[in-house]
Amino acid sequence: MKNNKPVLFIDSGIGGIPYCADFMKKNRQEEVCYFADRVNFPYGPRGKEEIVSILTELTERLIKKLEPKIIVLACNTATVSAISLLRERFPATPFVGTVPAVKPAAKASHNEKVGVLGTALTIKEIHNLNLISETCEIFGIAAPELVDFIEHHFEDSDENKKIEIAKKYIAPFLEAKVDTLVLGCTHFLFLLEEFRREASPHIEVFDSIAGITKRIEFLLDENGGELRSKNDGEHMPKHRLFLSGTEKPGPFWENRAKKLGFEIKIDI
């Protein structure tokens, strides 16, 4: 018996879109829902307990409404804050989290100096995630204003502005002589190519997009692929984009919805 229920991606805004797009590209038969929690954007400056409360209420509501077969927390802050408690609270639903790609960055580092660019809470929690060896030095920078830029100004910024932004954040990592850099917030992946261009050849930049897609696929393929959707030509996946609040979707959401084949829904 195949499972045609959706894979659900949750983020406070646009940050999870690169993860969602990569999964959809490689798994075209799977139905996908994306929930942007605009009402509570951004998660980064909030306390851990508040994030847990927000996501517990939200997850309960989304499970009842959408019955997702897998939930992806497409947000590093949400993952480090709440995924353990959400797994305990909703044991019947598999969760996939996005944690900073510190392990591969540390493994690839030649001088054991790893940079992490993220939200304040993610930077704070890095050392509690068991992602690195004791010999590895972490140089972390919190960039909440970069989250806001990408959420609200990325779409209407030209390439020169994007390069200028990337150069600004790469500079202190170059000064610190790190040789690997982790983009520890999903929002930052919209500037992935700009970061790589400005960091090269001194710093290798890491993200976790491919790893997250593989993890979702692993869960879908477990137990003989019982969570996989039918691939017989009869089932046509219906992709939906949910935006919390009552504000109308702006150009970014309209453009991304059209590109990814999403039907836009305001709140749920």
Active site (annotated) includes residue 185: yes
Q: Exactly one of 20, 33, 75, 136 is catalytic; which is it?
A: 75
Q: CB 86: neighbour CB atoms within 10 A?
A: 24
Please give the span between the terminal C-alpha atoms of the chain, in angstroms, as a whole number. 28
Q: In whole angstroms, what is the distance from residue 109 CA to residue 136 CA?
A: 9
8 Å CB contact between 5 and 67: yes
Structure tokens belonging to residue 209: 């997009």
Active-site hit among 20, 33, 136, 185: 185
How many of the other CB atoms lie within 10 Å of CB of 140? Answer: 18
Q: The tokens 């690169």 sit on which residue?
A: 18
Q: At a CB cut-off of 8 Å and minimum separation 6, what does 212 contact?
A: 19, 22, 23, 72, 74, 96, 98
The Cα–Cα gap between 217 and 223 comes to 12
Residue 75 catalytic?
Answer: yes
Token pair 């947000």: residue? 75
Is 123:142 a contact under the CB 8 Å cutoff? yes
Pairing of strands 262-266, 7-11: unpaired
Provide Rg for the chain, Cα atoms. 18
Distance, in Å, from the CA atom of 147 to the CA atom of 42, rounded to the nearest integer, reads 8
Q: Which residues are catalytic?
A: 75, 185
